[in-house]
Structure 1
Amino acid sequence: MSLGKIIDVTNLASLVKKGIINRDGVRVLQHTYVNTDKPDWRTFEKEKYAKFEQLMKEPSPSLNDYKAGHIPGSIHVDVNVAMYPAQYERYGYYPPHIFEQYVQLLGINKDEHLIFCGRDRLSGMLGVSKLAWLFKSYGHEKVSLLDGGLDRWQAEGQPLETGIFEIGKHGNWTAKNCIEKYNIRFEELYKVDENNKKMIDQPDKVNFLDCRVRDMFHNVDGKELEFFIKAGINLPGHIEGHKNAPIPEVFAKDGKLKTKSDLKDWLISCGYKPESPTVTVCIMGIQAALLAYVMDDALPNSNPRLDRSEKSKHVILNELCEE
């Protein structure tokens, strides 16, 4: 079945009503993103690394939200299980042969189309975009995001189920290593090329799109910062030459994504150059995943890569604040 990278409520509701979900190669995966403190990476590595069955049973805000109401037939998935706290990353990438073990526990099979839906900030598309980008990073291209998330689903009068959908037998899904294709590491950003220059120092040749809110990017007080300050994730200032493409601005007033044409115009107004490679940037790689996903849909030739490291942002921005 051929589905777009963005799916609206009407089309998903039709798939549900026809009984296609979990039957004809289509799955719905639900996740609610809640910012939590980063676990101690050393302790996690010793006690919980890759212990997916254990992690899936642990209480979580996302699981609680799923139990309270989910799209009929949808499966719960959690970014805090799919990824792990690494030394310099809040969300580290498991090796492909390990990550696939988690996906198989979800009952997912090869070539199935995965539709991600959520209920959180930014029209329920924040956390699930990270998961969709994660699956692309392991070679699974058949993914979609529900435009407007669960709030839009309910606003249009669609039903929810409670409890937990029984997964059944393990799936046969396998992972490929496409991590470097869709993501960029600190080491690559700071590698010196033949001209004795680092990529991070060449914003004239690379679109570094920082998708934090404008007040944080420009280090000014404002209402935009209230949520981030309360959540303890305010990192003011920006790396020289980076362009600001605030992620809330990808949405129209009705909470759904802007049209592809409007998104392209907006990106260009932010300083995006279509002829240059693109790296999307935030603090923990969540907002940047949504921007990368939206660009991948609206501008298929943009080939964005996600800055997956926290190290680069913290090191450089701390230096800026000290100047």
Structure 2
Amino acid sequence: MAADYPLLVSSDWLKQQQVAGVENIVVIDASWSSAKNCQAEYEQAHIPGAVYINVMDGENNDYFPRNIPNSDKFEEKLQQAGINHDSHVVIYSSSDNAGFLISGRAWWTFKLYGVDKVSILDGGLEQWKKNGYELKSDIPTSKKGNMKVKRIDNLYRTFEDVQQNLKSSNFQVCDTRPATKFSGPESDGHIPGAKNLPMAKLVDMEKGTLLPVSQLKKLFLEAGLDLSKPVVVHCMMGMSSCTVAFAAILCGSKNVSVYHGGATEWGKKASPDQIQKYTP
């Protein structure tokens, strides 16, 4: 999964591309919240030229309360946004953790469905505004793109994959939930052998950007994760884990995937001996 394009881009970089008139860049506002209408907010103010896509538009159920969209529906969204096979997609959001909570999930969804070049705007919409760059309210009209989705299955891990790994130890498991949810009196337990690296640790909230790569590498190391070996990340339902997967690739990982069902599915399906509980 090594990239020949910048995985993480700054507001300055994006502005420079826009001023230079680079044509193959498609900017996507992926803002989403269960508490408000982010599309309405996008229609009021967004980065010039940005197109809105709701990547959380999936058929949810008890195991996947934050499900991914089906392939046909997502392909239609991509084409309507003007995305072609050679497009460079830049994703931003106005979500929590400097935009990364949703931007990371959107990045993973795009990659899962075969979009080749996908970057995240560091700091999201807030960083763009902080830099004093303009916002627009006009909705751009895009020429229909030619993107055809192709599921990249090695980015996705199932309950069965993780269950089998308890015996085979083919990959490391990284639980990206807060430490109190991973282990402790408030925790329902975690996957045996999992390491804990909360997604929030990766963000410099004072600056509103992702930590430098050197600091990210240190965090992975301190969590007991070897990025030269396969890593599977998970959270509750495939949200914060996607940003940790993104950070791992930014740090040079060549083999990282997301267990989408996460602690929600694991808690419902795993046997008691497959859940490591807190012991004082």
Pairwise same-fold verdict (TM > 0.5): yes
Number of aligned residue pairs: give it: 271
Quote the residue 1:243 is aligned against. 195
**Root-mean-square deviation over aligned CA pairs:** 2.5
Residues 317 and 209 of structure 1, relative CA distance in 2, 3 Å threshold: farther
1:156 matches 2:131: yes
Q: C-alpha separation between the residues in 2 aligned to 1:175 and 1:160? A: 30
Structure-1 residue corresponding to 2:31: 32
C-alpha separation between the residues in 2 aligned to 1:35 and 1:320? 30
Which amino acid is the alignment partner of residue 122 of structure 1?
Answer: N
Kindly provide the CA deviation profile for residues 121-173 of structure 1, in whole angstroms up to 9, marking residues without a partner as x: 110121121111111112212010011111111111111112x5233442211
The Cα shift of 1:281 comes to 0.9
Q: Deviations over 1:242-289 (max 9, x none)?
A: 111011111234221111121111101001023432110101101011
State whether structure 2 residue 218 is matched by structure 1 residue 265.
yes
1:106 to 81, 88, 92: 81
- TM-score of the aligned structures, taking structure 1 as reference length: 0.76
Provide the rounded CA distance (Å) in 2 between the counterparts of 1:174 and 1:246: 34
Asked whether the 8 Å contact 1:208–1:280 carries over to 2, the reply is: yes
- Name the residue aligned to 2:165: 199
Q: 1:34-113 counterparts in 2 under 5 A?
A: 34-35=33-34, 61-81=37-57, 83-86=58-61, 88-93=63-68, 96-113=71-88
Deviations 1:84-129 (A, max 9, x none): 3245222434554553122112222221000001111110121121
Q: Give % identity.
A: 24
| 5+ long unaligned stretches in structure 2 | none
Do 2:43 and 2:139's aligned partners in 1 also have CA atoms closer than 8 Å?
no
Q: Is the 8 A contact 1:211 1:280 kept in 2?
A: yes
The TM-score with structure 2 as length reference comes to 0.87
User: Aligned partners of 1:271, 1:296: CA distance in 2, in Å?
Assistant: 16
2:119 to 144, 168, 175: 144
Pair 1:10–1:266, CA change in 2 (3 A)? same
- Point out where structure 1 has 5 or more consecutive residues left out of the alignment: 37-59, 191-197, 222-234
CA distance, structure 1, for counterparts of residue 178 and residue 231 of structure 2: 19
Residue identity matched to 2:19 = K
